[in-house]
Amino acid sequence: MLDSIGRMDESRLYVELRCSSIEHYLQKKLGFKKSSAWSHKSVSRALPELPRLREAFANAKMTWSTLREVASVATSRTEQLWIDCLAKNGADVVDREVRAAKGDGRDAPSDGEYSLPAHLVKLTFALTAVEMESTAVDAATQNATVINIAPEEERPLAPLAGNAEPDGETSPEMRAKVLARDGHRCQSCRGRRDLHAHHVQPRSEGGRTELDNLVTTCKFCHGLLYQDRLVVTGSDQTGFEFS
């Protein structure tokens, strides 16, 4: 899709479709939100100079949300450094590094170890001991919502009988468990807004409303799944894969 957006942007084909800009085309014809249209345009314009980022995204080694952030600061000189940072430390660290790089005027991740900022939390690991400020622990305990997932809920799904009735809709309690298990992030793009619990095997095809068949997706990726523009396979036990 990004290549198509880039070609249309460069050729100004959107004008023939009665759109004033590539963002206007993405919003009017494809239903993108304004912010999403802008970010797709920005990334598509940056990628010709960032072939390694393009390859990492094409090979599913980098999610859309991470590509969007990294492409906003990376250059041809530093793109491999960002890919290495992601492989070694994960998307959350890369997100923090991008924000810090923008603030410092850098185009590369910082040197040294990547860890949580020292002023936020002090962790001391000794076997299973974790040391935190008591006030932080008290506040977290008072405001936390405890989600309990029983061991039997995480079991692989048993084969469904051919004459079985469609399973029930996802309850608020089950949705909360799915989102908690997945870290309150879309498992496709890693976004945190407008989250859904999506049935990997649809209910209409015998899919069960159980943890092993449910995965967290954002509203946008959920829509792509229903339009067959995105496919998810796997399970909670084997891992979910999007393509």
Q: What is the 3-state secondary structure (H, E, C) of the chain?
A: CHHHHHHHHHHCHHHHHCCCCHHHHHHHHHCCCHHHHHHHHHHHHHHHHCHHHHHHHHCCCCCHHHHHHHHCCCCCCCHHHHHHHHHHHCHHHHHHHHHHHHHHCCCCCCCCCCCCCCCCCCCCCECCECCCCHHHHHHHHHHCCCCCCCHHHHCCCCCCCCCCCCCCCCCHHHHHHHHHHCCCCCCCCCCCCCEEEEECCCHHHCCCCCHHHEEEEEHHHHHHHHCCCCCEEEECCCEEEEC
By the 8 A CB rule, do 200 and 212 touch?
A: no
Amino acid at 49: E
d(CA 204, CA 141): 40
Provide the residue ranges of all domains of the chain, joining segments of one domain with +.
1-46, 50-111, 167-242
d(CA 230, CA 221): 7
Six token digits for residue 46: 């940056």
pTM confidence score: 0.46
Banded model confidence at residue 127, pLDDT cuts 50, 70, 90: very low
- pLDDT of res. 156: 54
Six token digits for residue 54: 């393009």
d(CA 199, CA 211): 9
Assess whether pLDDT exceeds 50 at residue 226.
yes
d(CA 221, CA 200): 13
167 φψ region: left (φ > 0), alpha (ψ -120 to 50), beta (else):
beta
Q: How far is CA 101 from the centre of its chain?
A: 21
- pLDDT of res. 149: 60
By the 8 A CB rule, do 188 and 221 touch?
A: yes
- pLDDT of res. 84: 92
Q: Per-residue pLDDT tens for 79-125?
A: 999 999 999 888 888 888 888 888 888 899 987 544 444 333 333 33
d(CA 227, CA 165): 25
Question: What share of the chain has pLDDT > 90, as a percent?
Answer: 13
| Ranges 27-31, 86-90, 125-129, 171-175: which has the least confidence | 125-129
